[in-house]
C-alpha cells in the first residue's frame, strides 16, 4: 500500500497529461500549471523557512565527533568540532557538498552472537551520485532559458557529453541518475528495516523523480520532440510572454516531463524534500560547539522571573498569620 499508492498517483498524473493533451488543454499544461507550481514552490519554501526561523535555538547543540577546543596542549578537531564561524562554514560545506555525516553511516550486524559494526558507503555513494547529477542536469537545462548561453554552461554540457556516444550526444548524468534513483528505490524495497520505516511520502518523490528523468531521457534519445519549440516556449515563459501558437507543436511527452516537474515543485515545500533548505537550518550542524566558552542565554525566558521569599510573604502574610505561621515582617 505504501508503495502502490504513490505509484498509482504518478501513473494517474501521467495519464492526466495525455487526457489534457487530447482535450487541447495545452495552455493549462504548458503555461498555467508551470507558473502556479513555481509560485507555490517559492512562497511555500519561504513560508517553511520562516516557520523554522520562528523557533528559538537557545543552546548550541551541534552533534560533534572530534576533540572539542580545550587546553592548549590538546589538539582540537577544528572541523568536526568547530569553535569558530570558519570551522562551521567548512563543516557545513562538507555536509552540503559531500554528505560528510552520511559518509559515517555504519551497518550493525550480529555475528556469532556479537554485535559488529561495518562501514556502509553505498547509501552515501548513491546519494551523492543522485544529488550531483540532479544538480548538473538542472544547470544544463538553463540553456533553454537564456538567449546567449555562457561558456560555463557549454563547458558543463561538453564534459557531460564528453564520451561522444551517439547523436544526440549521450549525457553521462542521465545514466548516473537513473542508476542512483533505482538503487535508492531498491534499497527501500529490499532492506527489511528500511522497508519498515518507509512511508508513501518516501516513495512518492522517488517515483516522481524517476518519471521526470525517464520522460526526459525518452524525449532526448527516443521519441523526439520539437526542441526548438520547447525553447521558444521556455523563453516565452520567463519573459512572461508565452507564445500560444507553439504549444500544440511540441509533442505530448514534453508535457509529461513538464507536468511531473511542476508537481514536484508544488509538492516540494510540503514534503521531506525541504531538506534542501533544512540542511542549512540544522542546529546540530550549523552551530559552533562553544557552549563552554560563551554564555548562551535562553531567549524565551530571560530575564528569568524569580519570586523571592519576601514577595511570597507579601502575597500570603494574612493567611500565614491566621494559620499561626511565623512571618519575618509584621
- The residues of the shown chain that bind ligand HEC, judged by CB under 6 A, are 167-169, 227-228
Q: Which does 179 bind (CB under 5 to 8 A by kind): ligand HEC, other proteins, none?
A: none
| 241 to 24, 236, 245, 308: CA distances (angstroms) | 20, 5, 12, 69
Of these, 15, 35, 55, 86, which contacts other proteins (CB under 8 A)? 55
162 binds other proteins (CB under 8 A): no
| CB-based contact 299:309 (threshold 8 Å) | no
239 binds other proteins (CB under 8 A): yes
Residue 48 vs 226, nearer CB to ligand HEC: 226
Provide the strand spans (E) within the chain.
106-111, 114-119
Q: What is the DSSP string of 296-322?
A: ---TTS-SPP---HHHHHHHHHHHHHH
Residue 123 vs 250, nearer CB to ligand HEC: 250
Of these, 35, 122, 145, 312, which contacts other proteins (CB under 8 A)? 145
Of these, 81, 124, 134, 157, which contacts other proteins (CB under 8 A)? 157
Q: Which does 316 bind (CB under 5 to 8 A by kind): ligand HEC, other proteins, none?
A: none
153 binds other proteins (CB under 8 A): yes
| CB-based contact 238:3 (threshold 8 Å) | no
Q: Which does 324 bind (CB under 5 to 8 A by kind): ligand HEC, other proteins, none?
A: none
| CB-based contact 136:147 (threshold 8 Å) | no
Residue 15 vs 89, nearer CB to other proteins: 89
Q: Three-class SS string for 119-165?
A: ECCHHHHHHHHHHHHHHHHHHHHHHHCCCCCCHHHHHHHHHHCCCCC
In the block, residue with C-alpha cell 556469532: 112
Of these, 7, 14, 28, 45, which contacts other proteins (CB under 8 A)? 45
Piece of 3-11, 117-125, 138-146, 172-180 that binds other proteins (CB under 8 A): 138-146
Residue 131 vs 143, nearer CB to other proteins: 143
Of these, 142, 156, 178, 320, which contacts other proteins (CB under 8 A)? 142
Residue 181 burial by CB count (10 A; 0-12/13-18/19+): exposed, middle or buried?
A: buried
Q: Shortest distance, CB of residue 249 to ligand HEC, whole angstroms?
A: 10
Angle (CA) 155 159 160, round 5°: 115
Q: Shortest distance, CB of residue 212 to ligand HEC, whole angstroms?
A: 17
Q: Which does 202 bind (CB under 5 to 8 A by kind): other proteins, ligand HEC, none?
A: none
What is the spatial distance between Cα 250 and Cα 242, in angstroms, rounded to a whole number?
A: 14
Amino acid at each position: 500500500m505504501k508503495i502502490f499508492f504513490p505509484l498509482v498517483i504518478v501513473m494517474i498524473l501521467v495519464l492526466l497529461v495525455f487526457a489534457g493533451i487530447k482535450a487541447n488543454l495545452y495552455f493549462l499544461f504548458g503555461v498555467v500549471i508551470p507558473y502556479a507550481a513555481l509560485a507555490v514552490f517559492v512562497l511555500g519554501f519561504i513560508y517553511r523557512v520562516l516557520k523554522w526561523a520562528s523557533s528559538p535555538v537557545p543552546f548550541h547543540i551541534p552533534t560533534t565527533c572530534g576533540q572539542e577546543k580545550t587546553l592548549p596542549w590538546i589538539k582540537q578537531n577544528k572541523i568536526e568540532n568547530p569553535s569558530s564561524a570558519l570551522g562551521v562554514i567548512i563543516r557545513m560545506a562538507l555536509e552540503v557538498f559531500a554528505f560528510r555525516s552520511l559518509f559515517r553511516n555504519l551497518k550493525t550486524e550480529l555475528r556469532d552472537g556479537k554485535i559488529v559494526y561495518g562501514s556502509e558507503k553505498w547509501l552515501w555513494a548513491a546519494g551523492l551520485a543522485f544529488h550531483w547529477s540532479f544538480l548538473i542536469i538542472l544547470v544544463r537545462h538553463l540553456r533553454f532559458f537564456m538567449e546567449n548561453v555562457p561558456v560555463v554552461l557549454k563547458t558543463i554540457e561538453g564534459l557531460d557529453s564528453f564520451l561522444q556516444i551517439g547523436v544526440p550526444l549521450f549525457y553521462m548524468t542521465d545514466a548516473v541518475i537513473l542508476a542512483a534513483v533505482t538503487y535508492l528505490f531498491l534499497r527501500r524495497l529490499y532492506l527489511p528495516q528500511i522497508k519498515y520505516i518507509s512511508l508513501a511520502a518516501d516513495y512518492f518523490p522517488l517515483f516522481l523523480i524517476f518519471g521526470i528523468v525517464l520522460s526526459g531521457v525518452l524525449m532526448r534519445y527516443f521519441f523526439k520532440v520539437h526542441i526548438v519549440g520547447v525553447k521558444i516556449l521556455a523563453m516565452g515563459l520567463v519573459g512572461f510572454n508565452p507564445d500560444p501558437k507553439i504549444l500544440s507543436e511540441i509533442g505530448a511527452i514534453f508535457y509529461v516531463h513538464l507536468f511531473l516537474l511542476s508537481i514536484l515543485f508544488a509538492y516540494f515545500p510540503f514534503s521531506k524534500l525541504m531538506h534542501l533548505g533544512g540542511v542549512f537550518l540544522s542546529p546540530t550542524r550549523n552551530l559552533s560547539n562553544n557552549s563552554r566558552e560563551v554564555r548562551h542565554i535562553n531567549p524565551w525566558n530571560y530575564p528569568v522571573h524569580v519570586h523571592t521569599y519576601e514577595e511570597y510573604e507579601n502575597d500570603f502574610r494574612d493567611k500565614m498569620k491566621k494559620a499561626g505561621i511565623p512571618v519575618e515582617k509584621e
